[in-house]
A = this chain, B = another copy of it.
Amino acid sequence: MSVALQLILQLAILILAAKAAGLVSVRLKQPAVLGELLAGLVLGPTLLDIFHWPLFTAPQTTEEIVFELAELGVILLMFMAGLEVDVREMLHTGRTAVIAGVLGVIAPLILGGLASLLFNYPVSSSVFIGLILTATSVSISAQTLLELGVIKSREGLALLGAAVVDDVLVILVLSIFLATIGSSGAGAIAGVIVRMALFFVIAVPVGLWLLPRLTYRIERLPISEGVVSWAIVATLLFAFAAEALGQIAAITGAFLAGIFFGRTRLRHEIMTGMHTIAYAFFVPLFLVSIGLKVDARSLNGAAVIFMLAITLIAILSKVAGAGLGAKLAGMRWSESLRVGVGMISRGEVGLIVASIGLQQGLIDDSMFVSMVMMILLTTLLTPFLLRRVFPHKTSATAKEIAHGDKLADVSD
C-alpha cells in the first residue's frame, strides 16, 4: 500500500472514531473530549495499535505524519483559545476573576509539585507536573452552567473570567519554565530573558499595529479564502517566532496570534473558518493522538497510586486555590466553593501542556498516562460536582435567578 493511501485510510478511521466516540460521550451526558480521548486509547498501543496493523505495508510509517497533523491541531486550538480572550473584558471582570485565577494557578503548581517530589520524581518533572495541574478548561463548566441556567450568576461570570486569567497564566508560566529549563548560570538565564523580551518587543507591536492593518488590507484583495488563509499563516509565523526567537513554546505564539486577531473586526469570520478547519479535521486528530501516544498498560501499581493521588491533589488544590481567591475577593463561602469547583476540569490546555512535557522528555510515558487519566477524571467529575454545589434551575425560584442576574450585571 502506498504511503498516501495508507494515510488516507488512517485519517478516515481516526477522525471517524473520534467523532463517533465523542457522540457516544455526549449522549451519555459527558463531554465529547472524553470520548475522543478514549477512542485514541482504544486505537493506540494499549489495545488495537492501528499503526501496526498488517494491512498497513507502506515502506514508511505514517505515524509521524499523523502526529504532525495533530501538532497543527494544537496550534489551531491555542489560536482559537486566544481568539476567545478579550483582554479589555478580562481586565474589567475585575478582582474576583483575577485573584481566583492567580491562586487557582499557584495552589496546584505548588501542591502538585510537592506531591510529585514526595513520589520521588526529579525536580524538573515535579515542577512540570505541577504546571500541568494549573490548567483549567472552562468549556465543560460553561456548558454545565448553561444547562443549570446559572451561567450569568455572579459565580458563573467570576468562573469564566478566572478561567481566562488561568489560561493566560498557564501559558506564561509554561513559557518561562521552558525558556529557563536547561539554562544554568546567570549569563544563560539573562540570555533567555533577553530572547523572550526580544520576542515580545517585536510580537506585540506587530500584533497590535501591523497585523490588523494587513488583515483589513487582505480582506479587500481578490484572494480565495484570503482572510482565513492569512490567519493560518500569521499563526504559524507567530508560533515559529515564539519558539525560534523567544525560546518559549510555539503554542504561546499561536495563543498570542489568537488574541491579536480577536481584537480585529474580522474576529467572527476568522473564528467561523478556523472552527471548521480545526474541528472537522485537525482537532479530532490531536485528541485521538493523545491516546495513540500512550500504552495505558504501562501503568503499574505505583503509577496507579500516583495517578489517584495526583487527581485528588488536582481537585483539592484547584478548589482551595480558586475558592480562596474568590473568598478573598469578597464572595461568600458557598459562592467561593462554586467558583473553585467550576475550575476543576483540566481538558485541552492540560492535554497540550502534558504533550509538550512528553515531547521534551520532562515526563515519561507512565507519568504522561497518569496525567491523561487525571485530566479525564477531573473532566468527568466537574459537571457532576457542579450540579451538586449549584442550586438546580428547576429548584431555583424565579426570584433567585433574577437576583443572580442582577448581581451578575453589577459584578465589577
- Select the stretch in A162-170, A269-277, A378-386 that faces chain B: A269-277
* SS class, residues of chain A in contact with chain B: helix
- Of residues 253 to 275 in A, which have CB atoms within 8 Å of B's CB atoms? 273, 275
Residues of B within 8 A of A275 (CB): 225
Out of B7, B11, B232, name the residue touching A281 (CB < 8 Å): B232
Q: Given the complex of chains A and B, what is the CA–CA distance between A71 and B58 in angstroms?
A: 16
Q: Which listed residue, B16, B22, B71, B229, touches A19 by the CB 8 Å rule?
A: B229
A229 and B8 contact, CB distance less than 8 A: no
Q: Give complex CA distance A226, B281 in Å.
A: 10
Contact with B along A227-253 (1 / 0, CB 8 A): 011101100110110011000001000
Task: Write the chain B residue with the least CB distance to A62.
Answer: B68
How large, as a class, is the contact surface on chain A?
Answer: 35 or more
Contact of A120 with B by CB under 8 A: no
**Residues from chain B with Cβ under 8 Å of A72 in the complex:** 8, 11
Do residues A22 and B223 form an inter-chain contact, with CB atoms below 8 A? yes
Query: Are A68 and B65 closer than 8 Å at their CB atoms?
Result: yes
The complex places the Cα of A76 from the Cα of B239 at a distance, in Å, of 26
- What are 28 A-B residue pairs whose CB atoms fall within 8 Å in the complex? A1-B244, A3-B64, A3-B68, A5-B240, A5-B243, A5-B244, A8-B71, A8-B72, A8-B236, A8-B240, A9-B237, A9-B244, A12-B233, A12-B236, A12-B237, A15-B232, A15-B233, A19-B229, A19-B230, A26-B222, A32-B222, A32-B223, A225-B275, A225-B276, A225-B280, A229-B280, A277-B280, A277-B281
